[in-house]
Structure 1
Amino acid sequence: MKECWQKDPSKRPKATKILETTNQKMDELPAMEGLDMETLTHELPAIDGSVLETTTTTLVDEVPDVETMKTERLDHASYNETLGQQPNAIDLPESTFMIVGGWNTNKLVQIYDINRKSFKPLKSTLYERDGSTIVKINNHVYTAGGLRSNFVECLDLNQVDGDWYKLASMNEQRQFAASAVLNDQMCVAGGSDGVNALSSVELYNPVVNIWTNIASMQTKRWQHALVSYNGRLYTFGGGEKLLILNHLNSMKSYDPREENGNH
């Protein structure tokens, strides 16, 4: 249109003429009273002098009032709280952490919101988790071990209504072991098999659902800590023997990239 106007500007309509024609057409419209407001059809002049027919539809009757919307929101929120509907994990704030199992808690799983200072229940685990260990990898939560247990299960946080599901079991039963994430894999070290403290270490690959033993720690440890930092594992504290107060204050590290690296 711009190119055409530049070649023959005399054909451009005058704004005053368009305005006068529009006002004349509007004056000719019937009064609004008594019209069906569902559909109001009126005619407006186009630039070339033809008539452009437009249709306007009112949606006033379809819009709920503000109070109704507020009430519906409150009812929905009460429903979620009362029936324990699972929160949308994608919307969970960063200020939350998960608690799985424990002594005399059976299969209880809860999340704690630090800002709101409140607990909220999640789906229970398949097995009792007394002295288990837990990690999070790619928005999936993995929990392993417990009293006389080598069972492992996972909760997919991407599925709002998802349940815990069983995975491949560890090679040994482990209670009060320590875990960390190493290269998107779950590493579980030490713990107790119910008779002795353990020095063995296992690595779980969630892609292939397989546990693999890696280099054992130089010292047996249970109720200790395990940290992964820059591709290296650090283990410290805990005890070396069961039922004996022999707390350890040593720390060892292990780098899987080193061929003969030991904890």
Structure 2
Amino acid sequence: MQRLSSTRSDGVKLAPLSRFCRCCQLPGYVGTQSLQPPHSNHLHNHCPGNLKSLRCTTLTYSQIISERTKPRMHEFQSEVFMIIGGCTKDEKFVTEVTCLDPLRRSRLEVSKLPTSEQENENEDKKWVEFACITFKNEVYISGGKETQHEVWKYNSSINKWIQIEYLNIGRWRHKMAALCGKVYAIGGFDGSQRIYSVEAYDPFHNCWAEVAPLLFSVSSFAAASYQNKLYVIGGGPNGKLATDKTQCFDPSTNKWSLKAPMPVEAKCINAVSFHDHIYVVGGAMKALYSYSPLEDNWCLVTKFSHERASCGIAACCNKIFITGGRDEKNEVIATVMCWNTENEKLTEECVLPRGVSHHSSVTIRKSYTHVRRIIPGAVSV
């Protein structure tokens, strides 16, 4: 086999490697070259296609992402749910990420939310009213009142947050969803009005592109995907009102349509797809509702004793977990409730170290070989 090497920067001995690069897409660099940004290597400056691919997949040596760095699905992995960001009862913003393992009844230590410096170097932007979703076992967060255009993803295998391409339109009080190999940022508020805009993120090319806008502009709504379709449920068309509309997006036609409305008008809600249904909770509903995309109908699942506005919801270990929120007195809730779909019982799973609302809850698979296990104490799980 001919050796692919280069000893000069003028291209004299670069032809074999240059031809090789044109015929393949490399996941990154080899050896010490992984410490360099893609454009710094003259071998790739003559291969625009390969350079574009490398920019999407190559990071610094401490942040390299590839299939080889992801943990295998073995006995040391657990399905866990994360409680990300939010604010406490004294309106303090949370930078910690709480990771709970219901199966092993323990808590895992994970990296805090990324810091993003403002013009004042002594202050960091606060992650509040952002959106969050899990895609291919990585957690994506976007937007927020102070981080309007920013998008980051959490790689569980290296326990790091990595910044990716910015949103085209800054937004908060929006939602995200994963659908057909892409991540969507939907609707929200831009500081002056509710927006119709929907953007789709292509992970391979690291870019956002506009798709068909919402039929009705809303913020603080619920969103979930099911069988290659995206559902936007409820939300607020303005600061005072809420809607019961269910909007459905089909990426194959790039069109939105209306489905059966919710039984109640609601905003400050969240949703999760689980067992052929979309479960919706939050707002002033004092209840958990489910929507069947197959039958296009709604039903009441169970009632609560209090409101849980701006709470989180995640499906983990074949159960549904409802985290935090605010009650009718605007008090922050610290409990995590568990809905068991098999016996149809609602129980209290645990109590968090502090109440939290306006946060996100998502589910990932986490490896015990990559993160340190915390002895239960502060959190009773």
Classify the TM-score, shorter chain. 0.5 to 0.7
Q: Which residue identity does 1:79 align to in structure 2? A: P
Distance 2:2 2:188 in 1: 60
Which position in structure 1 is the counterpart of 2:89? none
Distance 2:150 2:2 in 1: 49
* Superposition CA RMSD, Å: 3.1
1:213 maps onto 2:258 in alignment: yes
The TM-score normalised by the length of structure 2 is 0.44
SS of residue in 2 equivalent to 1:164: strand
Q: Structure 1 residues 151, 59: closer, same or farther in 2, change over 3 A? A: closer
SS of residue in 2 equivalent to 1:76: helix
Aligned pair partner of 1:127 in 145, 169, 175: 169
Which position in structure 2 is the counterpart of 1:76? 34
Q: Which residue identity does 2:202 align to in structure 1? A: D
Distance 2:234 2:294 in 1: 21
Report matched runs for 1:231-250 at 5 Å: 231-239=276-284, 248-250=285-287
Percent identity over the alignment is 20
Unpaired runs of 5+ residues, structure 1, are: 1-57, 65-70, 240-247
Q: Tell which structure's C-alpha radius of gyration is larger.
A: 1
Deviations 1:183-233 (A, max 9, x none): 210101011112311211101000000000101101122121212223222
Which position in structure 2 is the counterpart of 1:150? 196
Unpaired runs of 5+ residues, structure 2, are: 8-28, 41-53, 59-64, 71-135, 300-381
Deviations 1:138-181 (A, max 9, x none): 22111111101110010122x33x42111110011111111111
| Structure holding more helix per residue | 1
Conserved 8 A contact 2:226-2:293:
no
Higher relative contact order (CA 8 A, sep 6+): 2
Report matched runs for 1:1-263 at 5 Å: 73-79=31-37, 85-87=55-57, 91=67, 93=70, 94-147=136-189, 148-157=194-203, 159-160=204-205, 162-195=206-239, 196-239=241-284, 248-258=285-295, 261-263=297-299
Conserved 8 A contact 1:111-1:121:
yes
Which position in structure 1 is the counterpart of 2:51? none
Q: Structure 1 residues 215, 60: closer, same or farther in 2, change over 3 A? A: closer
The TM-score normalised by the length of structure 1 is 0.62
Conserved 8 A contact 2:143-2:171:
yes
SS of residue in 1 equivalent to 2:272: strand
Distance 2:4 2:148 in 1: 53
How far 1:128 sits from its partner (Å)?
0.8
